[in-house]
């Protein structure tokens, strides 16, 4: 076995495992598989010597591309169970898409460490919310409308695009704090990932079209190799996660995931400072 092949096989295996984990988490917790895929890709690209100037952009862009497949599979499974709030998608969808386009433009123009910082900060906030947040907290009985809805939707879309996540990380807490059952919030978040992933992927492809020092097999800021290895396993495993979401008490799982997120955030802060 050649030295090059011996390096690629562990890389491929890790991507397949990351895809499976992303799919299960997307279906189970509704937080979006990107929250797993981005740090895995970031650290793998670091190990492979991908240029720091494009490392985070390619991790984010590739994650968004995998989310398209994962979200469709997960959302379809939730839709069959009647847990997708189509009114939420109609009301918040346009603002979220606008935010995604804005976030894609910003991500294509800022330096990699800026995106890494955004991911680290938001991941830490989410970890704290998952670990210590009270699921019974309520801000109201109905979701905001008008300018507030526009602002919230745009923020969700922009941050999701800059982090390479499906939006469930913010959508699930938003919906539950306005009275939605958690299963309905998780199912709706999966569908939200699809409307984030499609324009986000296109934006990152265009934004990185002529970028220098991209890894081989990239289309703009999207690694086709990463996409080909992560997407199939994430699609296969997302329905399994959705099935588990309707059977398990997810409190312990959410707290374990919060520890993972907290560690990931601190590791990314460390990579920025060193």
- Please state, in angstroms and rounded to a whole number, the distance separating the CA atoms of residues 226 and 260: 22
Question: In this predicted structure, what is the pLDDT of residue 3?
Answer: 47
pLDDT at 32 over 70: no
State which of 21-25, 27-31, 60-64, 265-269 shows the largest mean pLDDT. Answer: 60-64
- Please state, in angstroms and rounded to a whole number, the distance separating the CA atoms of residues 256 and 43: 21
Question: In this predicted structure, what is the pLDDT of residue 114?
Answer: 87
Residue 3 resides in a domain: no
Domain count, the chain: 1
Torsion angle of the four alpha carbons 23, 27, 31, 36, in this order, in degrees rounded to the nearest 10: -20
Domain interval for residue 38: 11-273
Mean pLDDT, residues 164-183: 81
Residue 2 resides in a domain: no
Reported as a single tens digit per residue, the pLDDT across 248-257 is 666 766 677 7
CB atoms inside a 10 Å sphere around CB 108:
18
Reported as a single tens digit per residue, the pLDDT across 189-243 is 888 988 999 999 999 999 989 888 888 888 999 988 888 888 888 778 877 777 7
Range of weakest confidence among 5-9, 123-127, 223-227 = 5-9
Residue 180 resides in a domain: yes
Residue 231 resides in a domain: yes
Residue 248 resides in a domain: yes
State which of 6-10, 167-171, 209-213 shows the largest mean pLDDT. Answer: 209-213
Residue 4 resides in a domain: no
Residue 1 resides in a domain: no
Reported as a single tens digit per residue, the pLDDT across 54-102 is 889 999 999 999 888 777 777 887 788 888 888 999 999 999 999 999 9
As separate numbers, helices (DSSP H) first and strands (DSSP E) second, the chain gives: 10, 2
Q: How far apart are the first and last CA of the chain?
A: 35
Residue 155 resides in a domain: yes
């Amino acid at each position: 076995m050649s030295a090059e092949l011996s390096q690629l096989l562990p890389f491929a295996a890790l991507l397949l495992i990351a895809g499976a984990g992303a799919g299960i988490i997307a279906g189970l917790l509704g937080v979006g598989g990107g929250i797993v895929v981005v740090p895995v890709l970031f650290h793998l690209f670091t190990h492979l010597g991908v240029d720091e100037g494009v490392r985070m952009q390619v991790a984010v862009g590739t994650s968004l591309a995998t989310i398209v497949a994962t979200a469709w599979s997960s959302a379809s499974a939730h839709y069959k169970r009647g847990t997708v709030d189509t009114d939420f998608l109609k009301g918040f969808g346009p603002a979220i898409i606008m935010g995604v386009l804005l976030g894609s433009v910003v991500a294509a123009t800022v330096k990699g460490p800026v995106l890494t910082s955004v991911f680290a900060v938001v991941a830490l906030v989410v970890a704290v919310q998952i670990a210590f947040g009270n699921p019974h907290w309520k801000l109201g009985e109905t979701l905001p409308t008008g300018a507030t809805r526009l602002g919230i939707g745009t923020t969700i879309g922009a941050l999701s695009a800059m982090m390479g996540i499906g939006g469930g990380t913010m959508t699930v807490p938003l919906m539950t704090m306005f009275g939605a059952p958690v299963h309905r919030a998780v199912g709706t978040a999966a569908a939200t990932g699809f409307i984030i992933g499609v324009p986000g992927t296109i934006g990152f492809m265009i934004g990185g079209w002529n970028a220098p020092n991209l890894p081989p097999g990239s289309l703009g800021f999207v690694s086709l190799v990463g996409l080909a290895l992560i997407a199939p396993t994430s699609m296969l495993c997302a329905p399994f996660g959705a099935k588990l979401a309707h059977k398990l008490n997810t409190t312990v799982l959410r707290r374990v995931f919060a520890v993972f997120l907290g560690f990931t955030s601190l590791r990314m802060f460390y990579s920025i400072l060193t």
